[in-house]
């Protein structure tokens, strides 16, 4: 018997359920408001070499789903429970066991650097309190509690619970994405060599505002001059060549709010919007590369299970000049008044601006799908996922079509680490997972699809079972109704079959209603 075999045998006797000789470290990376096709390894023209390297050394999941907005996706990710149960008062339900809490209890060092967006406000004894990451299992936190902020001056910045706005006030070169990387490496350096770690990196890139250093924006000068129509066609061609979409898929129509590129009257401003967006993504990719390089040099990369995913599809929102919110600073660091809004006379990028990239470029990001963040059509929830684990994953550089969802990542990680979850959370029986482990798929084994995927938030609600998907647009502009699609034949939801298959609509409607009732009942307890 070899020493490795003996170790595995002894671990089994001790109740260590992992099939691996060593508990892997876990690196969980989430980008913000990006589309299915933005990454280079998913067909985009944006430079993402380090994320692409994860795909080359790991696997890409091409049939993966998020929720349709930022905070609720994070609730599903960190609990394995759909947000209709796990997302309560803007925070995590007390009876949901969190991934960091489960790993922390088994000796993992746990850190989050970036966007929490689960602070909520719980009412207690006539007052209210924010919920901090340390209350849900994280040893160390650097970042923001809310959903968006300036990249140059993210007010409300905290290290653990301590406000540290003075750090960006004193640093003229401060950029939030870069700071996330520095703090992540500091966390890794502080973790003892004999202690496994769980590092969660929820970046704010590429969420608005469009902020990036001028020299980074300049690298993309002219890159998007062909416009969104031609670039969508080019992306689709590359996606087919890369195998991340079926060769038969056609491009969805341009959104009605988007003019043909040839008719766009503000081309220079429009190009600049996408240049800044691309710069934000590339900076994030560089920072991810720095973290991966540190893991490589420390000898930890091969034993680190890494996931990269996105919280929802590209965001179409046009940032208005009169929009208010706790995410919008009144002044720049040097005291100049902010000029918020998608003002065509003001090029985005500098600290004084606060803009978004809008319908046209979000349409490009979500190629070939239609609609956007906030919707449960494919453009809002169908997102890329990459898994990388040199000592665990089989079939490196390949794709997986396994139907999966954010709620699957917690069960997967706990199975891979051999961590048996506690049956309690906050002193009560924990709410059971909605997700299931996709570890078999990572190991190159065939895995049946889940019976149902369930969605309900913001402007959309949906249910998917097999290739059937029923989706509802809650825009409020017209009387909405259920739409029915066969995603095997119509993956970008162009041919509504609801009138042809009323029995299927009735069947799925009953199933959706039952799931909704069950989710809300669990949350109310």
Q: How far apart are CA 327 and CA 403, in angstroms?
A: 35
The pLDDT of 358-369, averaged and rounded, is: 98
CATH architecture entry for 29-450:
3-Layer(aba) Sandwich (3.40)
pLDDT tens digits for 249-260?
999 999 999 999
Question: Whole-prediction pTM value?
Answer: 0.94
Residue 491 CB neighbours (<10 A): 22
Active-site residue, from 50, 93, 117, 457: 117
DSSP class per residue in 338-398: PEES--TTS-SBSTTEE---HHHHHHHHTTT----TT--SHHHHEEEEEEE-TTT-SSTTE
- Report how far apart, in Å, the C-alpha atoms of 17 and of each of 11, 21, 64, 194, 417 are: 8, 10, 27, 19, 8
Is residue 20 scored above 80 in pLDDT?
no
The pLDDT of 456-462, averaged and rounded, is: 92
Is residue 379 scored above 60 in pLDDT?
yes
pLDDT tens digits for 396-436?
999 999 999 999 999 999 999 999 999 988 888 999 999 99
Is residue 126 scored above 90 in pLDDT?
no
Helix H or strand E segment including 484: strand 483-486
pLDDT value of position 13: 35
pLDDT value of position 475: 75
Write down the domain spans for the chain: 29-450
Is residue 18 scored above 70 in pLDDT?
no
The pLDDT of 511-517, averaged and rounded, is: 96
Active-site residue, from 70, 96, 377, 405: 70
Q: How far apart are CA 525 and CA 522, in angstroms?
A: 6
Known catalytic membership, residue 315: no
Is residue 41 scored above 70 in pLDDT?
yes
DSSP state of 321: T
Q: Are 371 and 314 in contact (CB under 8 A)?
A: no
**Binning pLDDT at 50, 70 and 90, where does residue 476 land?**
low
Known catalytic membership, residue 382: no
Q: Are 465 and 511 in contact (CB under 8 A)?
A: yes
């Amino acid at each position: 018997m070899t020493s490795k075999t003996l170790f595995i045998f002894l671990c089994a006797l001790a109740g260590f359920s992992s099939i691996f000789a060593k508990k892997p470290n876990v690196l969980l990376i989430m980008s913000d408001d990006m589309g299915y096709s933005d990454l280079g390894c998913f067909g985009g023209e944006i430079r993402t070499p380090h994320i692409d390297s994860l795909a080359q050394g790991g696997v890409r999941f091409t049939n993966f789903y998020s929720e349709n907005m930022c905070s609720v996706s994070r609730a599903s990710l960190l609990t394995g429970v759909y947000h209709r149960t796990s997302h309560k008062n803007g925070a995590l339900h007390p009876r949901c066991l969190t991934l960091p809490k489960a790993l922390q209890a088994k000796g993992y060092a746990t850190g989050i650097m970036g966007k929490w967006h689960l602070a909520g406000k719980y009412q207690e004894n006539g007052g209210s309190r924010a919920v901090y990451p340390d209350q849900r299992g994280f040893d160390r936190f650097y970042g923001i509690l809310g959903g968006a902020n300036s990249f140059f001056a993210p007010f409300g910045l905290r290290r653990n619970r301590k406000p540290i706005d003075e750090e960006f006030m004193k640093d003229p070169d401060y950029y939030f994405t870069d700071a996330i990387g520095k703090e992540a490496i500091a966390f890794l350096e502080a973790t003892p060599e004999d202690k496994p770690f769980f590092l969660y990196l929820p970046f704010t890139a590429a969420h608005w505002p469009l902020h990036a250093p001028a020299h980074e924006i300049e690298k993309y000068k002219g890159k998007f001059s062909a416009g969104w129509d031609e670039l969508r066609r080019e992306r689709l061609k590359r996606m087919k060549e890369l195998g991340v979409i079926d060769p038969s898929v056609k491009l969805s129509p341009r959104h009605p709010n988007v003019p043909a590129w040839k008719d766009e009257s503000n081309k220079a401003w429009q190009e600049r919007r996408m240049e800044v967006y691309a710069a934000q993504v590339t900076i994030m990719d560089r920072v991810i590369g720095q973290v991966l390089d540190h893991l490589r040099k420390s000898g930890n990369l091969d034993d680190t299970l890494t996931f990269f995913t996105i919280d929802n599809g590209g965001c179409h929102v046009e940032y208005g000049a009169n929009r208010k919110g706790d995410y919008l600073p009144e002044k720049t660091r040097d005291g100049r008044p902010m000029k918020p809004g998608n003002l065509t006379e003001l090029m985005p990028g500098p600290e004084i601006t606060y803009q978004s990239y809008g319908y046209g470029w979000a349409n490009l990001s979500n190629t070939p799908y239609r609609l956007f963040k906030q919707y449960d059509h494919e453009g809002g929830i169908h997102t890329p996922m990459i898994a990388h684990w040199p000592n665990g994953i089989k079939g490196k550089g390949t794709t997986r079509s396994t139907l999966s969802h954010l709620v699957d990542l917690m069960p997967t990680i706990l199975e891979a680490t051999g961590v048996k979850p506690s049956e309690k959370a906050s002193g009560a029986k924990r709410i059971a997972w909605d997700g299931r482990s996709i570890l078999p798929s990572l190991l190159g084994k065939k895995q049946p699809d889940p019976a149902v995927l369930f969605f309900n938030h913001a402007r959309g609600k949906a249910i998917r079972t097999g290739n059937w998907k029923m989706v509802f647009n809650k825009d409020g502009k017209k009387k909405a109704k259920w739409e029915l699609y066969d995603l095997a034949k119509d993956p970008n939801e162009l041919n509504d079959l609801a009138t042809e298959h009323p029995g299927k609509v009735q069947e799925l409607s009953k199933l959706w209603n039952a799931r909704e009732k069950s989710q809300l009942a669990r949350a109310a307890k």
